């Protein structure tokens, strides 16, 4: 898919920005703090994935703006669609999302129709950050492939906090210990669902990561990724049915109740899952160089883009924020080659630091305005 028209106004420092991107390669050029990242964030807003970024929508309102409004036309492989997204300042913070002129849509609708893969230096945290980053990466990616999964992710979080609240109540003798178990069968079901979802996603992603990492390193290094989970699912072994997993999950919760009561929260479960990554058999987090960590994060995102292509038969729009400028020419070429059949937006301080030998549309941004060059 590709964006044919985009405009944003009052979104952070962007003022009446409006442009028609190239179907393939677009460069957003500007000095620091001019609005390049803001522009990519405005595009990202259209995916409906804001919850996965942890940014509150009202923070997108320009400091002095009474509202923000973003709108976009994009071609999804079959037809052109339009999304409008606006938010007003004020107590009620009136928000309006419309899709193809149908008003009052939910962000989840966007989730189903417009797909992006974004990569920025912060994605290093996928490697160096805490496991929560990796869990939300797995969940977001898996949900983008099948949007109805979102409800299971929210439900799992909700059930877990209910169970933890019950543990706290039991500690204060407001309820019996046994009452905590009432949550367990529901939590076990969603927990089993999420385990299978994450497992299936990582199994599809792993071979793509391995292949792409092999290309980056000229075959000298092997990246392996696997899914660490509480239920002991492991690669190469037959995947049990949901019912079997749910039963196992419920037994695990019941048998650790005493421990949970001692700690004051639910110790085991999907909230402890992680993504394990090794290069030539050594964990990247502990032993990887900066370069290896950066390449690993990049490869995870590129593999994600390829998986969309494979599974949805539609390429996502690729947003590369601040990553090209610091790569050498070989890595720039590798990166671009892997996404060259997709629409790509690259932010940079200077167009000259990019050596792709590729025709591109160039947009320059200064103090939140697009300027002609």
Burial label for 40, CB within 10 Å (0-12, 13-18, 19+), is buried
Among 7, 8, 13, 150, binds ligand ADP (CB under 6 A): 13
Residues 148-207 binding ligand ADP (CB under 6 A) are: none
Tokens of 276: 């394990």
Asked if residue 32 binds ligand ADP (CB under 6 A), the reply is yes
Locate the DSSP E strands across the chain: 2-9, 17-19, 25-29, 67-75, 80-88, 95-99, 116-119, 223-228, 274-279, 282-283, 317-320, 344-348, 361-366, 369-371
Rounded CA separation 189/355 (Å): 51
Secondary-structure percent of the chain, ordered helix, strand, coil, rounded to 5: 45, 20, 30
Task: Determine, following the binding rule CB under 6 A, whether residue 26 of this chain makes contact with ligand ADP.
Answer: no
- Should residue 34 be labelled a site residue for Mg ion when binding is judged by CB under 5 A? no
Which is closer to Mg ion, CB of 31 or CB of 341? 31
Q: How many CB atoms lie within 10 A of CB 18?
A: 12
Q: How far is the CB of 321 from Mg ion (least distance, A)?
A: 6
Instruction: Report the alpha-carbon distance of residue 156 to residue 153 in Å, rounded.
Output: 5
* Window 48-87: residues binding ligand ADP (CB under 6 A): 59, 61-63
List the x/- string, 235-264, binding to ligand ADP by CB under 6 A. ------------------------------
Distance CA 369, CA 373 (A): 12
Name the segment binding Mg ion (CB under 5 A); options: 31-39, 45-53, 67-75, 133-141: 31-39
- Rounded Cα gap, residues 132 and 130, in angstroms: 5
Based on CB atoms, which residue is closest to ligand ADP, 270 or 348? 348
Instruction: Output the smallest distance, CB 123 to Mg ion, in A.
Output: 13
Q: Which member of 3, 7, 25, 30 binds ligand ADP (CB under 6 A)?
A: 30
Q: What is the arrangement of strands in the sheet containing 317-320, beginning at the earlier edge strand?
A: 116-119, 317-320, 344-348, 25-29, 361-366, 369-371
Which of 56, 79 has the CB closer to ligand ADP?
56
37 binds ligand ADP (CB under 6 A): yes
Which of residues 139 and 322 has its CB atom nearest to Mg ion in the complex?
322
Q: How far is the CB of 340 from ligand ADP (least distance, A)?
A: 24
37 binds Mg ion (CB under 5 A): yes
Minimal distance in Å, beta carbon 17 to ligand ADP? 11
Rounded Cα gap, residues 323 and 217, in angstroms = 18
Q: How far is the CB of 164 from Mg ion (least distance, A)?
A: 37
Neighbour tally for 213: CB within 10 Å: 25
DSSP state of 102: B
Q: Which residue is nearest to Mg ion (CB)?
A: 37
Give the one residue of 36, 135, 189, 294 binding ligand ADP; rule: CB under 6 A: 36
Q: Which is nearer to ligand ADP, 26 or 38 (CB)?
A: 38
- Burial class of residue 285 (count of CB atoms within 10 Å of its CB; 0-12, 13-18, 19+): middle
Q: How far is the CB of 131 from ligand ADP (least distance, A)?
A: 27
Dist. CA 42–CA 65, nearest whole Å: 15
Instruction: Work out the angle between the directed axes of helices 131-145 and 290-312 (0-180°, nearest 10).
Output: 20
- Residue in the block written with tokens 């044919």: 4
Q: How far apart are CA 40 and CA 60, in angstroms?
A: 12
Q: Which of 2, 7, 9, 12 touches ligand ADP (CB under 6 A)? A: 12
Contacted by 158, from Mg ion, ligand ADP, none: CB < 5 to 8 Å by type: none
Residues near Mg ion, by CB under 5 A: 36-37
Residues near ligand ADP, by CB under 6 A: 12-13, 30, 32-38, 59, 61-63
């Amino acid at each position: 898919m590709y964006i044919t028209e985009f405009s944003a106004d009052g979104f952070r420092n962007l003022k009446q920005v409006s442009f028609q991107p190239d179907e393939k390669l677009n460069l957003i050029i500007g000095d620091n703090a001019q609005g390049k990242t803001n522009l990519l964030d405005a595009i990202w807003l259209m995916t409906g994935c804001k919850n996965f970024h942890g940014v509150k929508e009202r923070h997108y309102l320009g400091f002095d703006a009474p509202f923000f409004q973003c709108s976009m036309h994009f071609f999804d492989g079959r037809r052109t669609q339009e999304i409008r997204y606006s938010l007003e300042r004020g107590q009620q913070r009136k928000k309006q999302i419309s899709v193809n002129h149908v008003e009052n849509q939910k962000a989840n609708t966007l989730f189903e129709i417009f797909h992006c893969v974004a990569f920025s230096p912060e994605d290093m945290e996928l490697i160096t950050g805490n496991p929560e980053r990796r869990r939300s990466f797995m969940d977001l990616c898996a949900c983008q492939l099948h949007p109805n999964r979102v409800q299971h992710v929210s439900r799992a979080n909700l059930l877990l906090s209910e169970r933890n609240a019950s543990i706290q109540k039991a500690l204060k003798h407001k309820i019996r210990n046994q009452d905590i178990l009432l949550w367990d069968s529901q939590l076990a079901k969603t927990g089993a669902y999420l385990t299978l979802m994450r497992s299936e996603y990582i199994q599809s992603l792993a071979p793509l990561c391995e292949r792409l990492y092999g290309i980056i390193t000229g075959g000298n290094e092997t990246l392996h990724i696997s899914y660490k989970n509480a239920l002991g699912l492991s690669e190469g072994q037959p995947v049990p049915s949901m019912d079997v997993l749910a039963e196992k999950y419920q037994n695990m919760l019941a048998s650790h109740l005493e421990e949970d009561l001692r700690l004051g929260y639910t110790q085991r479960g999907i909230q402890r899952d992680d993504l394990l990554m090794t290069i030539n058999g050594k964990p990247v987090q502990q032993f990887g160089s900066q370069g290896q960590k950066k390449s690993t994060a990049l490869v995870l995102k590129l593999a994600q883009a390829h998986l969309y292509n494979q599974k949805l038969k539609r390429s996502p729009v690729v947003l590369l924020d601040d990553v090209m400028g610091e790569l050498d020419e070989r890595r720039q070429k590798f990166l671009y080659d892997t996404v060259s059949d997709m629409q790509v937006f690259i932010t940079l301080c200077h167009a000259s630091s990019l050596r792709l030998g590729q025709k591109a549309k160039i947009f320059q941004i200064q103090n939140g305005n697009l300027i002609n060059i």
